Every structure is written in C-alpha cells, then in structure tokens.
Amino acid sequence: MGDRILLEGMDFYGYHGVNHSEKEVGQPFIVDLELELDLKAAGDSDNLCDTVDYSQAYLIVKMVMEGQSRNLLESVAEALAQNLLHFLALDGVKVRVTKPQVYIEGAVLRGSSVEIHRQRNA
C-alpha cells in the first residue's frame, strides 16, 4: 500500500437506516477515511497545493452524512467514496462508516460498520 492520509473518528448525526425511527429521529455515525495519494511532492515542498486539504475532505463527508437519507450503510459508504474520488485528486480511498447505536433484540454490540475500498478508474 502506498502513501495515505488518515482522517479518523469524524462524528455526524444523520438519518440513515431502514427503520422508520432511524429516518425520523436520526442517530450518530462515525466515519474514518484513508485517502490514498502520492505524498512525496508535499513532503518535499511543504506546500498544501501538493496534497489534499483535510477540510475539503471533511466537507464532502459532512455533505453526504448530513444529506440525503439512505437505507444502508453500504450505500452511505459508496456515496462517500464516489464523492471523494470525484472532487479530490486521490488514487483511492478506504471508507469506514460506523453506526454506534445498533438495536438487535437480545444482542449486545458496540456498533456495526461497513468498510469499502475504491480506486480511481484509470
């Protein structure tokens, strides 16, 4: 694996889920990203123009997480990956979306997550 920028533990409140209550009341979500790109030029130049601005990545994630309601975490993760690849100069991206408050009758768990990895089409 090549160079990566990690953005971890971004907290959002969204209205994603299959259940009516998830869409009406909403719930917290946590997003972690691995942004893949060559960081050699930025390391040599110490210039923001040679890398990805974290604040732009954050705003893209915020737009998706606080935007259109989706049923599945898989769909949320895919929308994040596609938007990040579209708007930022990345070679690839790994996205993890976690729903920390999951209700499964009789189960005890800290949450559920979906993680996907997408590459820029050549």
Predicted TM-score (pTM) of this structure: 0.92
Computed over every residue of the chain, the mean pLDDT equals 94
- CB proximity list for 109: less than 8 A, separation 6 or greater: 102
CB 66 within 8 A of CB 79: no
CB 81 within 8 A of CB 43: no
Which pair of structure tokens corresponds to residue 99?
A: 């729903």
**Look-up: residue for tokens 């935007």?**
67
Residues marked active site are found at 99
What's 106's DSSP letter?
A: T
pLDDT, one tens digit per residue, over 43-97 is 999 999 999 999 999 999 999 999 999 999 999 999 999 999 999 999 999 999 9
Domains and CATH numbers, the chain: 4-119 (3.30.1130.10)
Q: Is the four-CA dihedral 20, 21, 25, 28 of positive or negative sign?
A: negative
